Amino acid sequence: MFRNIKKLNGCKVLVVDGSLSVREVIARCLHEVCEIYTVESAEPDLILMNWMLGRIPGLDACKKIQSMPSLSEIPIIFVTANTNETHQELCWDAGAIDFVGKPIVPKTLINRVKTHLRYKLQTDALKRDSFIDGLTKIYNRKFFNIEIVRLLKQYSRFKQASSMIMIDIDYFKEYKDTYGHLKGDDTLKAIAKELNDNLRRPLDLVLRYGGEEFVIVLPNTELKGASVIADKVICAVKNLNLAHSKGFSDVMTISAGISAAEGFNVCDVNTFINNADKAFYLAKENGINRSYPEFISC
């Protein structure tokens, strides 16, 4: 059936990969076969869309994009030869933020794209800042509350195990009473950095849950693997040798509770968090500087 199809060089292939080297290898392999376009991410900052596309009308494509939570905040500008009032209203109703008439006036197009890109980048920066803890510079609980729902749905869809480690600094109130709040802030920053530095996979995530509590979210990780990571960060914090005269062995330590879910049996968000919270309290009750349900000695 492919006998009469000889030339593919007019075909366009978009390669999406976070690694520059991978993108370059794929492009080199396929450059004689078809036209290759490579990008680091498939989520653009702005979309310029023709009113009339191939098989899908531009208005329908715009509505579809706007209906997808992961894409709905990408601004869309229509490029159209018809700019009468009815068509303008259809553009707005579909979710577009602007339109550019044909024939295109270059200066108008450039200025409108620049304006909307600036708005988009400013909005992204404000949103990003609202998800970052001001003291430790890692993600905060607001981000956790939003992201954990999406992550659990994703893990369940792909039948992946997932784990969460709830962490608390041992005797932190006594530490602040002894060394002061400013020293307490310095310690929170040091521990946040140590937790983050000990996560090696790009999708592993550490957040400040509140006060002296942190959370580590581990995709595609079963209980045993999460226990190894919990032990690793517990040892790493202890080895910082932060003096704590009222603490465990006169140095700062942390305790951790682990919650794990297996693929399609991923529980709801509240259960997932509550299980980690219960495990954390059991870790405290069974002796600090440890994790629960499994602890491997330093």
Encode the chain (298 residues) as per-residue pLDDT tens digits. 555 666 767 777 777 766 677 677 778 877 777 788 777 767 788 888 887 766 667 888 888 888 887 778 888 888 888 777 888 788 888 888 888 888 888 888 888 888 888 888 887 787 778 889 999 999 999 888 888 877 777 766 667 778 899 999 999 999 999 999 999 999 999 999 999 999 887 778 899 999 999 999 988 888 888 999 999 999 999 999 999 998 777 899 999 999 887 654 445 778 888 888 888 888 888 878 888 764 433 3
Side-chain half-sphere CA neighbours of 183 within 13 A: 13
Cβ-based neighbours of 231, under 8 Å, separated by 6 or more: 291, 295, 296, 298
Instruction: Determine the structural domain holding residue 119 and report its residue range.
Output: 43-130
Say yes or no: 149 and 269 in one domain. Answer: yes
Cβ-based neighbours of 236, under 8 Å, separated by 6 or more: 194, 195, 197, 198
CA atoms of 230 and 255, how far apart (whole Å)? 9
Say yes or no: 122 and 83 in one domain. Answer: yes
Query: 211: closest CA among 174, 168, 254, 246?
Result: 168
Can you say how many angstroms the Cα of residue 298 is from the centroid of all Cα atoms in its chain? 31
Token pair of 249, please?
Answer: 């062995």
Say yes or no: 23 and 49 in one domain. Answer: no
Say yes or no: 152 and 287 in one domain. Answer: yes
Q: DSSP string covering 238-279, please? A: HTT--EEEEEETTE--EEEEEEEE-GGG---HHHHHHHHHHH
Say yes or no: 107 and 193 in one domain. Answer: no
Say yes or no: 103 and 146 in one domain. Answer: no
CA atoms of 166 and 234, how far apart (whole Å)? 12
Say yes or no: 94 and 215 in one domain. Answer: no
Token pair of 141, please?
Answer: 């609980």
CA atoms of 89 and 97, how far apart (whole Å)? 11
**pTM attached to this predicted model:** 0.63
Query: Please, what is the Cα angle at 196 between 203 and 191, to 5 degrees?
Result: 155
SS3 readout for 189-223: HHHHHHHHHCCCCCCCEEEEEECCEEEEEEECCCH
Say yes or no: 179 and 102 in one domain. Answer: no
CA atoms of 28 and 229, how far apart (whole Å)? 39
Q: Which residues pair with 47 in a beta bridge?
A: 76
Determine contact, residues 218/226, Cβ cutoff 8 Å.
yes
Query: 265: closest CA among 164, 160, 166, 165?
Result: 160
Say yes or no: 146 and 242 in one domain. Answer: yes
Per-residue pLDDT at 55:
65
Say yes or no: 85 and 174 in one domain. Answer: no
**201 lies in some domain:** yes
CA atoms of 142 and 149, how far apart (whole Å)? 12
Active site residues: 212
CATH code of the domain containing 47:
3.40.50.2300
